[in-house]
Amino acid sequence: MNESPSNLAPTALPQFEIVLSAGMHNAIREFLFRDSSREYMGVILAGVSETDQKVRLLGRQFIQVPSEDYQHQSAGGLAVRREYSQRLLRQCAHEGLSQIDVHSHPFGPSPNLWFSGTDDAHEQRMAEYIYERLEGSLYASLVMNQGYSKARIWLPYPDGVKEHEISSLVLAESPFRRLDISSSDKSDQPRLTEGERDIFARQVLAFGEKGQLAISKVAVGVIGAGGQGSTIVEGLARLGVRNLTIIDPDVAELSNINRVAGMTIEDGKAGIAKVEIASRTVRAINPDANVLAVKASVFASASIEYLKVCDIIVVATDNHATRMFAQRIGAQYLIPVVSVGVNIEVGDDGSLADVSGEYAIALPGATGWCLTCARVYDAERAAIELADAAEQQRWIQRGYIDGADVKAPAVSHLNGVVANLALAEIHNLLAPFKKFVSYLAYDQLRGELMPYTIERNPTCAVCSDSGLLGLGDLEPIPDYERTMGKPLDVSTVPEGRSDGGEQTEDEAIEQVTTTDSTVAINAPEAAAALPVDDFAAEITEGGDAETRSQA
């Protein structure tokens, strides 16, 4: 029988993971182990990504508890001043975020790391307090020694709070790592199957079995199954990626045959879905693969649900809006985004003016940047692509954009070169074998490869920690599918909303709080109602109860 916590869906318990933004893991470890004579503590403010199968806590911001805010601090334990704890709780409530307490057990790298009895008592009281007062916030904790990490989440049940182990710590950076931090027997953990051992034997010779295992554990979402997308999907399957989600609304036409990997002329005649062709290719390469073919627009709500549980998103389409959208999901859900694009331009005299392409790998967090920072897409073009049909028509008449019936030139070798440059770097991201090159452009006419260095804009609205970074389900995703390219039909605009535009904050809150499977979040109200001053009395009941970690 499955017990369910009172604010999660009444089914089997999901799998719990903590995802840290790029650079956060190092920042935490540097702070916690600056000196091994005493314990240190910090707090991760986190968004939440929730589906029935998986709950991810998304590390948005790491806050170091400053030395003046410890009541005491030694090798055997520490206590944080209550005013400081209150301030953090207030911030969580105000922003609707969840809280992950992090502390060190500074002695050695023993694998037998776990929370102490004092940790148990403190965290239980903290969890009871949070679930009583802060609707929508989750409470978890992470303990680290010099070699290992362990984590747990506390959840509310009718008869009190209970802890559940967090099984994975995901580092959304270079190298990308999916660390198994469960204390359970590892014998049932995913490993290479007998079949995979055979089919990937030749690359294991050079890149090792550990790297191959890392590749087999990740889930990659590919947006677009055309010339580049299909080539990348095939390459990922040959690399050993076992979990693939492929999203594309289109069916194959005869004119796709010059570049779509795995496509036959029969597929073109029959108008087979591009995602079906790509998943057929994957299954033919690796029968053990889990491949999900989603014949839908990336803007569809189902596509978003599939993408937010991926580890890496590849966007291989021919427009700006999908790149903007993929980056939004990547930043919000802490998922690295690989953008792949090509360009062929024919001059007025019929000569080739440009035959080029590029990939860009955007890592979410302090040591990364985003496609917005790198200007990989044009926000104005994206907005036009997302506009309704009438507005698009006006832009076409002004000559600003081409009509939808204008086809861009394409050739398979260009797609192939650029897709494979990106594949090599995805391989390197998962199983590092060389320096990470996050942005590389290819000029076919000149025969040149050009790496670029991108700087993160510290105030970027998308990828900074004052932007969307790590907000997860807290920030509603605009429903572009409703308006994009469609004639504006006033009968579909809900009453009381005149523009068919983005949700208001109230509507968004109503939506998240009335959906059973979604953690109810009502940040502004929670902040207003928060009686944080009660916290001190409750949490410190029992004398030295705040003292933690007497390991």
Residues that bind Zn ion (CB under 5 A): 116, 119, 370, 372-373, 460, 462-463, 549
Cβ proximity to Zn ion: between 93 and 460 the closer is 460
Question: Smallest distance from the beta carbon of 185 to Zn ion, in angstroms?
Answer: 24
CB nearer to Zn ion: give 374 or 430: 374
Which of 105/217 has CB closer to Zn ion? Answer: 105
Which structure tokens are listed for 126?
A: 């903290």
Nearer to Zn ion, 120 or 443 (CB): 120
CA angle 304, 189, 44 (to 5 degrees): 55
* Least distance CB 109 / Zn ion (angstroms): 16
CA nearest neighbour of 324 among 375, 359, 391, 369: 375
CA dist 141 and 434 (Å) reads: 34
Buried b (16+ CB within 10 A) or exposed e, 50-78: bbeeebbbbbbbbbbbeeebbeebebbbb
For residue 7, what are the CA distances in angstroms to 100, 155, 168, 473? 18, 8, 22, 15
Q: CA 379, CA 362: separation in Å to the nearest integer?
A: 17
Measured in degrees and rounded to the nearest 5, phi and psi for residue 460 equal -55, 130
> What is the nearest approach in angstroms of Zn ion to the Cβ of residue 375?
10
Two structure tokens written together for 300 = 């569809």
511's tokens? 């939506």
Residue among 362, 317, 358, 374 nearest 335 (CA): 362
Helix (H) or strand (E) holding 29: helix 24-32
The residue whose Cβ lies closest to Zn ion is 549
Q: In whole angstroms, how close is the CB of 331 to Zn ion at the nearest point? A: 7
Six token digits for residue 288: 């053990």
- Give how far Cα 500 sits from Cα of 67, 317, 482, 544, Å: 51, 26, 8, 56
Which lies closer to Zn ion via its Cβ, residue 231 or residue 464? 464
Residue number with CB closer to Zn ion (218 or 469):
469
Which among 335, 329, 308 has a CA at the least distance from the CA of 59?
335
Q: How far is the C-alpha of 487 from the C-alpha of 503, rounded, in Å?
A: 20
Which residue lies nearer to Zn ion by CB, 123 or 196?
A: 123
The distance of closest approach from Cβ of residue 122 to Zn ion in the complex, given in angstroms and rounded to an integer, is 9
- Side chain identity at residue 324, one-letter code: M
What is d(CA 173, CA 175) in angstroms, rounded to the nearest whole number? 6
Q: How far is the CB of 383 from Zn ion (least distance, A)?
A: 17
Task: Name which of 41 and 526 has its Cβ closer to Zn ion.
Answer: 41
Q: How far is the CB of 39 from Zn ion (least distance, A)?
A: 7
Nearer to Zn ion among residue 108 and residue 501 (C-beta): 108
At closest approach, how far in Å is the CB of 550 from Zn ion? 8
- Least CB distance from residue 37 to Zn ion, whole Å? 16
* Least distance between Zn ion and beta carbon 356 (Å): 23
Residue 115 Cβ, how far from Zn ion at the closest point, in Å?
6
Smallest distance from the beta carbon of 457 to Zn ion, in angstroms? 5
Rg of the chain over all Cα atoms, to the nearest angstrom? 25
Distance in angstroms (rounded) separating the CA atoms of residues 38 and 33: 9
Closer to Zn ion by Cβ: residue 144 or 519: 144
Q: What is the SS3 assignment for 380?
A: helix
Q: What is the DSSP string of 263-328?
A: --HHHHHHT-BHHHHHHHHHHHH-TT-EEEEE-S-TTSHHHHHHHTT-SEEEE--SSHHHHHHHHH
Which tokens sit at 335? 């998922």
167/457 with CB nearer Zn ion = 457
Residue (241 or 360) nearer to Zn ion, CB: 360
- CA distances 177 to 3, 429, 430, 523, Å, are 31, 9, 7, 32
